[in-house]
Chains A and B, each alone.
Chain A
């Protein structure tokens, strides 16, 4: 340490760099080059594909029910624990199904975004 009587040494304190230098890939998007457009397009396509996948499942699991009951009216007479099937399906089971679909979507969408962010922050050598 320094002697008493002389001013204390100046110490420079610094943390980890807060701003990452933009990698070559983000600058592609910023500049609006074709390559940048392709990067963005790939993200969009991935997210849209995920969205449409979830919606397709929604259509098949839930949206197909009116058609099913139209084609096979006997289904309405099926009783489980004394309660007819339609009430179980549309009154109870549909809600956990929607929640499960939503949860699966959120996890996948966040992963897509993480992957994209990693891709973008790689600096080209």
Chain B
């Protein structure tokens, strides 16, 4: 196997990332720059950056592999990941921006006036961030093993080091440029080979795959259980987007609520264009590379397909291109998540412990912590499949932050006690489900199904708990809640006392 295109691709992407990141270093010096790009990012640039950051290894590699192995019901992953932004737009985008807080723990503290709620939120941010980061590092391991023949630990460590360097040096501002660049890189990296592969396919006479009809049914197998699994996945992805730490932080870089909505609209378009492509690879893979599904290496489909279908130097070039895209995918999402987690760790943990570190220094220490732990876990933990693991992170986000945001933004009577109770209920429920899933090798029966896709019961559980406990502690509705809701919902042009 020729490792040259892979090496070139990885090196170029790494260099480009570090260079663009360093260029951004010139613009960022204060903590505000570091965290929120000084609120001066242009909407279209911001939308490209959001798209770039959001499209992780799961989108680039995982979806195609799942479609190859399981068929049309895996399309709910990309559909859900896009529809999640529509749900975010409709319920959360403008109010979240107007709240003025930097992060989800900030929002909780501002809305509820409670340090306890803030602490629980910080815990959840770190948990969800790490849960999402581990599959990214594992995906990097898969990529480098597939294209370079490198041992599995090289990928995670490389990505970890590059992310650490980038995040520590430039913070959010430079990351914005890098993320925007990487969206377009990823799109190109998937689009160009796809066009070539389609040409090859039709030149071959458009061969069809032999196989069962169930591959085209957009519903998981197993009757009632299949219906549950599909709907639970839909719930997790549709509701989880708003609770992802690296998504929320980008909202604060918009100038106002209106811009926040419009940026989200552009993101919807960018994601839609991108997600047309992975299923194409899955379908072609069924014709040309069905053995990958059987051998359990379906996550490497996108990387292997160009080489399988196209011989000679063109095949090598295309392989290099998809490798670059895959590597960009891990880098961008890992960077975004690391910033979000590092910000929380820096502000809430280090700042609290009373050390002498200033804002930026605390952030850097937080970054080391935020990157190292998932890197180590990725090396040690079993591989669940990149897209499925990301789906579990979505389930946890949907069970914790989604109820908090929905009730915090639209319901005046949410109390701190209610929020904490709901967060803990949702968080523990999804954590138990995830641990169960990791421990189960051969899922069978309803218990394993419920635990494999927990969102359908953890989300209602968290919502119900939040509402019930808030009503029970109705005497402790935060006094500034009404004023805060004015701020969230009224257009900024109006002259109002926003507290």
Q: Report A's interface with B, CB cutoff 8 A.
A: 19-20, 22, 26, 29-30, 32, 37, 40, 43-44, 47-48, 50-51, 54-55, 58, 62-63, 65-67, 69-70, 73, 76-77, 82, 84, 86-87, 89-92, 94-96, 98-99, 101-103, 105-106, 109-110, 113-114, 116-117, 120-121
Is A99 in contact with B83, judged by CB distance below 8 angstroms?
A: no
Is A91 in contact with B216, judged by CB distance below 8 angstroms?
A: no
Is A76 in contact with B489, judged by CB distance below 8 angstroms?
A: no
The minimal Cβ–Cβ distance linking A104 to chain B, given in whole angstroms, is 10
Please give, as numbers and ranges, the residues of chain A lying within 8 Å of B489 by CB-CB distance: 40, 43-44, 47
The minimal Cβ–Cβ distance linking A119 to chain B, given in whole angstroms, is 10
**Candidates B268, B485, B486, B494; contact of A117 at CB < 8 Å:** B494
Closest to A98 in B: B86
Stretch at the interface among B88-96, B123-131, B307-315, B368-376: B88-96
Please give, as numbers and ranges, the residues of chain B lying within 8 Å of A105 by CB-CB distance: 89-90
Closest to B273 in A: A95
Say whether, besides A90-B76, A98-B86, A106 and B265 are in contact (CB < 8 Å).
Answer: yes
Is B218 in contact with A66, judged by CB distance below 8 angstroms?
A: yes
Say whether, besides A29-B496, A90-B76, A99-B268, A66 and B485 are in contact (CB < 8 Å).
Answer: no
Is B82 in contact with A63, judged by CB distance below 8 angstroms?
A: no
Say whether, besides A63-B234, A90-B72, A91-B279, A40 and B83 are in contact (CB < 8 Å).
Answer: no
A116 CA to B94 CA in the complex, in Å?
15
Closest to A31 in B: B497
Say whether, besides A58-B83, A76-B213, A76-B218, A26 and B494 are in contact (CB < 8 Å).
Answer: yes
Is A120 in contact with B216, judged by CB distance below 8 angstroms?
A: no
Please give, as numbers and ranges, the residues of chain B lying within 8 Å of A89 by CB-CB distance: 218
A-B contact pairs, 7 of them (CB 8 A): A43-B490, A76-B213, A86-B216, A91-B72, A95-B82, A109-B261, A117-B494
Please give, as numbers and ranges, the residues of chain A lying within 8 Å of B219 by CB-CB distance: 66, 69-70
Say whether, besides A73-B217, A102-B268, A103-B265, A120 and B485 are in contact (CB < 8 Å).
Answer: no
Interface string of B259-286 (1 = CB under 8 A from A): 0011011001101110110010001000
Q: Is B351 an interface residue (CB 8 A)?
A: no
A70 CA to B218 CA in the complex, in Å?
9
Closest to B67 in A: A91
**Candidates B86, B258, B271, B495; contact of A19 at CB < 8 Å:** B495
Q: Is B457 an interface residue (CB 8 A)?
A: no
Please give, as numbers and ranges, the residues of chain A lying within 8 Å of B87 by CB-CB distance: 55, 58
Q: Is B359 an interface residue (CB 8 A)?
A: no
**Candidates A43, A82, A91; contact of B75 at CB < 8 Å:** A91
Is B89 in contact with A20, judged by CB distance below 8 angstroms?
A: no
Q: Is B79 an interface residue (CB 8 A)?
A: yes
A109 CA to B490 CA in the complex, in Å?
11
Please give, as numbers and ranges, the residues of chain A lying within 8 Å of B258 by CB-CB distance: 110, 113
Q: Is B491 an interface residue (CB 8 A)?
A: yes
- Known A-B contacts: A76-B217, A91-B72. Give 17 more (CB < 8 A): A29-B486, A40-B485, A44-B410, A50-B90, A51-B90, A55-B87, A58-B86, A66-B76, A66-B231, A70-B226, A87-B75, A90-B79, A91-B75, A98-B82, A98-B83, A105-B89, A106-B89
A116 CA to B489 CA in the complex, in Å?
11
A120 CA to B490 CA in the complex, in Å?
10
Is A98 in contact with B490, judged by CB distance below 8 angstroms?
A: no
Please give, as numbers and ranges, the residues of chain A lying within 8 Å of B410 by CB-CB distance: 44, 48
Is A66 in contact with B230, judged by CB distance below 8 angstroms?
A: yes
**Candidates B75, B217, B272; contact of A96 at CB < 8 Å:** B272
Please give, as numbers and ranges, the residues of chain A lying within 8 Å of B491 by CB-CB distance: 113-114, 116-117
Please give, as numbers and ranges, the residues of chain A lying within 8 Å of B273 by CB-CB distance: 95
The minimal Cβ–Cβ distance linking B286 to chain A, given in whole angstroms, is 12
A119 CA to B491 CA in the complex, in Å?
12
The minimal Cβ–Cβ distance linking B85 to chain A, given in whole angstroms, is 8
Please give, as numbers and ranges, the residues of chain A lying within 8 Å of B495 by CB-CB distance: 19-20, 22, 26
The minimal Cβ–Cβ distance linking B425 to chain A, given in whole angstroms, is 23
A73 CA to B218 CA in the complex, in Å?
10
A37 CA to B483 CA in the complex, in Å?
10
Is B75 in contact with A90, judged by CB distance below 8 angstroms?
A: yes
A4 CA to B202 CA in the complex, in Å?
88
Please give, as numbers and ranges, the residues of chain B lying within 8 Å of A54 by CB-CB distance: 86, 90
A116 CA to B288 CA in the complex, in Å?
58
Is B90 in contact with A98, judged by CB distance below 8 angstroms?
A: no
Closest to B280 in A: A91
Q: Is B227 an interface residue (CB 8 A)?
A: yes
The minimal Cβ–Cβ distance linking A16 to chain B, given in whole angstroms, is 15
